[in-house]
Structure 1
Amino acid sequence: MPSWNAQLARLFLEQRKALEAFVARRTGNRQVAADLTQEAFLRLARLPDTERIDNLRAFLFTVAGNLALDHQRQAQRRSQVEGEMPKQEPECSQPDGLQRLAAEREQSLLQDAIGALPEQRRRIFLLYHVEGMTYREIAEREATTARSVEYHLRQALIDCRAFIKARLRPNLRARNPQP
């Protein structure tokens, strides 16, 4: 039986073009397809020697299909976030001092809220929102489950909202005193 490296090399030579075409059909981008194909082979290569896979080709195509799906989800999330920006308002080339101060305060408040999160929750939050990683990628990196990642992300938003409300509440009372 050939060695694991020899099997991978043979599989790469035999299947790379077919796998790239498969991923390109799903993503619509040949460059992304090349990157995701390489990632699929890397993931296969990283499997422990004790992992036994009966059909390497089928496994490889499954991994590549999942990577393409993850890529499409990330692209959709990015377009939704970018799509939320108001289109009607002209960009302000030089914000006045008050606007700049308010933006800096909001940024500082958000950084404080994220900084107040428990360490693991903060890492997961940043990996998802800053690095753009998928639940599955974060779960692998953090040695946890995708469901746990989802829980931590939901809880991080709840915690950040509560932190910000608590910080803003004294300011709101000062502006609107109750009789």
Structure 2
Amino acid sequence: MTDYNTAVCSQDLADFFSTRHSHLQKYLFWQVRSHEIAEELAQETYLRFLKQSEPQSILDLNAFLFTIAANLARDHLRSVKRQQNREFVALDTEIADSKPHTEDIIAKQCLEAQLQQAIASLPEKTREIFLLYRADELSYKQIAKQLTLSERTVEYHLRQAMLHCRRCLTDQK
């Protein structure tokens, strides 16, 4: 290392960095809107500045320092944008994949047909109570009042209907 390089890398350089650190960090924060990232980029700026092979060829050290910082901030923002684009594409793909496939639609239609068949094969009173509960969304109390039955009877018929439907659907598989 030459005497000049030693001098540049010693106390003069430490003073140079310390006098500009606050201004550099504010500049980087203004670019990236994050104190943590601004600090990381400031450290990387100093490292790149120190790695310069011919510091004596730099005419304006301050301009050179801020050019490095600007380039690092730009690179960081590009990286963030690429990441956001990848996430957006992944989300797009996920949404596209969430549309039901033909096989799923057919399976659902088949299951609905089996369920309709199971409901149709219920005894009349049980079917009526089941449909009032499931289709009309009436409570046990409302069904009992409408059909002049006890709530226990409504509960019994609903339990029988559920068991019957479950049996029919598992037998079909």
TM-score by length of 1: 0.46
TM-score by length of 2: 0.48
